[in-house]
Amino acid sequence: MKNLKLRLLLLCLGTVLTLGFSHAVAQACADVSAGGTVYGDFDCRLTNACGGWCYYSCTCSNLFPGYNCASVLEEAGFEIVSGPQC
């Protein structure tokens, strides 16, 4: 019984640490985010990191005909920002 409690305690501790660590990692903004999607390649550079948000300036290349940079970036998981940053 004591062994079970210890295991549960360790499991909870591990869960908390994992969640905390992944949260910390998720908060950090990458300086560069580059790659490609089926619609084309993108190169995004951090311009502002504040309030838990990462803001990027992006360029695209090798676009698939009929698609544009927004298609590439949306596919890559970026949200389009038009308002003020922070």
Nearer to another protein, 19 or 50 (CB): 50
Binders in 17-76 for another protein, by CB under 8 A: 27, 29-36, 42-51, 55-61, 63, 66-71, 73-74
Binding residue count for another protein, defined by CB under 8 A? 41
Nearest Cα residue to 74 out of 39, 49, 47, 46 = 39
Residue among 44, 73, 71, 69 at smallest CA distance from 56 = 44
Q: What is the distance between the alpha carbons of residues 31 and 69, in angstroms, rounded to a whole number?
A: 20
Binding residues vs another protein (CB under 8 A): 27, 29-36, 42-51, 55-61, 63, 66-71, 73-74, 80-82, 84-86
